[in-house]
Structure 1
C-alpha cells in the first residue's frame, strides 16, 4: 500500500480535508507504484502532494457603512505538468488552506481525465457574499483581484467560479483584471456570453454529472427514465443536474441549502425548477421559500448537531450530492443503502466521507467520484479557453456535443483503468489511477523540477 508521505503527515496533519484527498488517491495508486518503480525513484508522490506555489494575501474592502473590512485571500497552484493551473475560486466563511489544497489536489487529476491540457489549482477567500449588497461584493472582488492579477494569466493560471462565485462575481473580477492588465484575455472562465463566455458553461458540471450517471447505468442495461433522484444543494450544479435529469425523464424530489431541504413528492418539474433558479440566482433567497409557492412540499430545517442528514433518508434510486465536501457520512450512507439506492454520482467535490464511500463500494453501488463525475465544468471551461484563443463562439449544441464526448471518454477511461488493475466496475479506483498516471508520466518526462 502507498501511504501518505511522512513529510505531508508531519507538516500538514491539521489539514483534514487535504489529508483525506491525498489518502484517497494514494490508496488507489498502490498497485501502480508496484508495477512502475520509477515513480517512487523519481519522488513523484512527494512532489505531487506539495503545491508548486501557495499564495496568501489580505483583502481589505469597504462596506456600505464606510467601515473597512479585511478578509484573507488564497491561490493554491498545485501542479502544472500538463498545462496552466485550472480550478475554482470559492468565497465562503469556511475557506481555509486545507480546503483549497484539497480542491487543488483533486483538480490535478480531474483536469487530467478531461484529456485537455490543464493543470490543477484552487483559490478563494473566507468572504461571505450572502447578505452583501452588489456594491460590497464589487468592492471586495476588485480588492481581491488587485492582488491576484499578479499571479494569473491565460497561459499561467486560469481561475473559474466555485461556491459563492457566480456570474456576478466573475464579472467584477474580470473587469478589474482587464483594467489592471489592459488586456482582454481568457484569464477567467464562466464569463458572460457577451464578453468571452461559452454557451453551456453554467450548466456543464451538472449536465456532465448526469451524462456520466447515464453511462454508468447503461453498463447494467438500465437508465435514468423513471428513477427517483435526490439532489443536495440548490446552486448552479444542483440546478443544472436537475434540469438534465428532468429532460431525461427522471423524478427529482429534493433541493437544499444551508437552511435545510425541501421534499416534493410530486416531483420538481421544469416550471418548479425555474422558480428555484429565480429564487436562488435573482432573489438570492432561501430554499425554504419553495413551500410558500408549492404548499404540498415539505421543508425540513437543517440540524447540524444531528448525526445524519434527513435529506438522505428519503427513498430514491439515484443520489446526486451537489452541495459541499463530506456531506454524506457513514450513517447517511446506511440510510441510502437501506432505501435500495442504485447509484451515487458526486456533483460536488468530495461530498462523501471515506466511510460513506467504502460502504457504497462494498455494497456494489454504482459510485462515481467527483473527479470523474463533475469534470464537465472544467471541461467546458477548457472549451471556453479555446474559444477565447480563436476569437469564436461555438453554438450551444456543439459545446454540449463536445461535453458528451468528453464525459464518455472519462467514463470509458475509468472503466479501462479499473479493469487493467483487476477491479472491474470500480470507478473510484479507475479515476484515480488514470489521472495519476497521466500526470506522473508528464512529470517524469520533464525532469525533477
Structure 2
C-alpha cells in the first residue's frame, strides 16, 4: 500500500510530467531509488529488452533523482488543487521571475537574406510534416522507426529560389521508446567525432541521443548517397540540410556534428555538397561544448547556416536535469502569485550547452490583445540563463506559425 508521502510524490510527478507533455509516471521501484525494475508505465510493448536496457537504466537514474528531489521539497504542497489551477499558478510563478523572458538589450534583430528565410520556412514545414503520414513519392525516402531509431525522411527538394537540397528530417518524440532515450542524458564521449579529441576537457554528448544517432547513421548515409546518385547527371549544385523539431532536432544536430568528422560514415558523402546546413526547432542541448557552425573547416560547413530556433517560453531547448528540478520547484510551490517572497530563482550552470546561432521567436507587442512576432538573435550564454517553463510553446505548429509571422514582418 502506498504511504501518504508516496502518493504525494506520485501525484505531483504525474501532474508535472503531464504538464510538460510527457504523460509518464514513476513506478514504485523508481520512487524507492531502485533502478533494476521497469520504471515507466506504458502500454507500448518493448520487443528488444537487450537494446532497451541501457536507455531504461539511464532514464531510471534520472527519474529516481527527480523523485529524491521531490522528497527534499517542503511537504506542505497541496496536491488537491485542480490541475488547471496548478498549471496557471505554476506559469504565474515563472512569469514573476525577471529571467522568464528575453530583454530588449539582450537581443539583436535577426536579418537573414531571403534565401535563408526560404530555407528556414522549408525546414519548419518539413519538421511539422514528418509527424503526419508522409506521401509516398520518388522524392521521399522514408526510414520507418524501429527500436530506438526515429522516423526519418530523406527528401530531394527544390527550393523557391531554384536551389536544390537534400533534406534529412528527423521526427520528434512520439512513443515510449523515445522517452527512455530522452531521459538517458548523461554525457558520453565518442571516437566518431575526431575534431573533439584535442579538446580539454573532452566533449561529451547526451548518451541517449548519441546512441540513436550512431545506430541510424548507416541507413541515413545510404539514403543520402542514393539521392545523390539519382541526380548526379543533372549537373546541379546540391545542398544538405539537417532538420527536426524537439528530440528530432537533437538527432539532427548530432548528424551535423558527425558529418564534419572524418571518422563517421557521413564523410563519404559530404564532399559532394555545396553547402551543409542545420536548422532545428525547440531542440534540447546535446553536447557539453557548443557544436559551432564555424568549427568544421571544410567549405560546405563554412558557407552553410546552423540555426537553433527557440520559441520564447519553450523549456525543451534548455531542458536538462537541474533545469527540470528548478521547474519542478516552481510547480510544487505553495506560494501564490504576487505573494511576497525573499527567494530569487537562478538557473543552474548547464552541463549540456546550446549550439548554433540561437534565434528566439518572441512577441514584441505592448498590446496583450495583439501579437507581433519577431526573430531575434541571442547569445547562447544569455539564453542558457533564462527560465522558460511554458510547455504550450513547444508545439511544432507554434514554431511554424511564428516563423511565418516573423518572416512577413522582416
Shared fold (TM-score, shorter chain, > 0.5): no
> Which fold has the larger relative contact order, with Cα–Cα distance below 8 Å and residues 6 or more apart in sequence?
2
TM-score range, shorter chain: 0.3 to 0.5
TM-score when scaled to structure 2? 0.32
TM-score when scaled to structure 1? 0.30
